[in-house]
Amino acid sequence: MCVDFLPDLATKTPLWLALLTVGVNALVGALRASIDDEHHWDIVGMATFAVLMGLGGGFIRDGLIGNLPVESLRTPWYLLTVLGTIIAALVFGEIVSKVSVLVSTLNALALGLFAVIGAAYALRAELPIVAAIFVGTVSAVGGGVLVSVMKDEVPQILLASAPNALVATLSAGVYVAVEVSNTRAAAVAGVVAAIVAHFVTERLGLTSRRATGPSALLLTRSKKR
């Protein structure tokens, strides 16, 4: 079946889509600063979180595969997007935080896109499949981990919680599995897998399990519904 009509989201990501995903992650980072009542972060703190969430995964990806200088610093558009996102968070942050469905959808899109792009770049660097899936996963969740470290928190992906890291791994895994036959279909399949898995786990209230035995490989229903 011909799939040439599909966009090559992994290796030829449209600039507008790349900026959208960076902006979404940056907005999440900025909001994590603005709604933190325990610490009173100033504009520098908010900007730091926005940069780490928006660009941190790409920094880690490019560092792992030796793609330096990192791609997001080779053009002004990514930093300008983060700057615009910070301004938007200051002006509309309270309103945006209430539109949970939209934010959740865009967050799932960003998770999948970062995962497939990371895996694609790793394969282009001639890394083995297992390493490509690892790079894709780290690209997707690395920014959030950096923000958690800055906030002196344990990253949520290390705890029994929403399985974002597993969703990212699934997305990267789908990409490398389909990429053998068609890169365009692989990119779309990886992103769709992330979005579907995100909403299925959210809808069913599924979380990862505490690692006390083999059952840790499975998901469980959250007690908070």
Q: What is the pLDDT of residues 19-57, one digit of tens each?
A: 988 998 898 889 888 877 788 889 999 999 999 999 999
CA–CA dist 190, 109 (Å, integer): 10
Residue 7 has pLDDT above 60, yes or no: yes
Is residue 8 in a domain? Answer: no
CA–CA dist 162, 144 (Å, integer): 13
Residue 85 has pLDDT above 80, yes or no: yes
Asked whether the beta carbons of 162 and 220 are under 8 A apart, the reply is no
Number of domains in the chain: 1
Residue 171, SS3 per DSSP = helix
Is residue 3 in a domain? Answer: no
Is residue 2 in a domain? Answer: no
Is residue 191 in a domain? Answer: yes
CA–CA dist 153, 150 (Å, integer): 8
Residue 225 has pLDDT above 60, yes or no: no
- Token pair of 164 as six digits: 């974002």
Sequence-separated (6 or more) residues with CB below 8 Å from residue 109: 20, 21, 24, 191, 194, 195
What mean pLDDT comes out for the span 93-122? 82
What is the CB-side half-sphere exposure of residue 63 using CA atoms within 13 A?
A: 9
Is residue 9 in a domain? Answer: no
User: Which region among 98-102, 132-136, 142-146, 168-172 has the lowest average model confidence (pLDDT)?
Assistant: 98-102
**pLDDT band with cut points at 50, 70 and 90 for residue 6:** low
Residue 214, SS3 per DSSP = helix
Is residue 10 in a domain? Answer: no
CA–CA dist 169, 116 (Å, integer): 10
User: Which region among 64-68, 105-109, 167-171, 199-203 has the lowest average model confidence (pLDDT)?
Assistant: 105-109
Q: Which amino acid is at 23?
A: G
What does pLDDT average to over the chain?
A: 88
What mean pLDDT comes out for the span 94-98? 69
Where b means 16+ CB within 10 Å and e means fewer, 34-48 reads: beeeeeebeeebbbb
Give the pLDDT confidence score for residue 100 in this predicted structure.
67
Domain limits for position 27: 15-221
Is residue 116 in a domain? Answer: yes
Is residue 1 in a domain? Answer: no
Task: Say what percent of the chain tops pLDDT 70.
Answer: 93
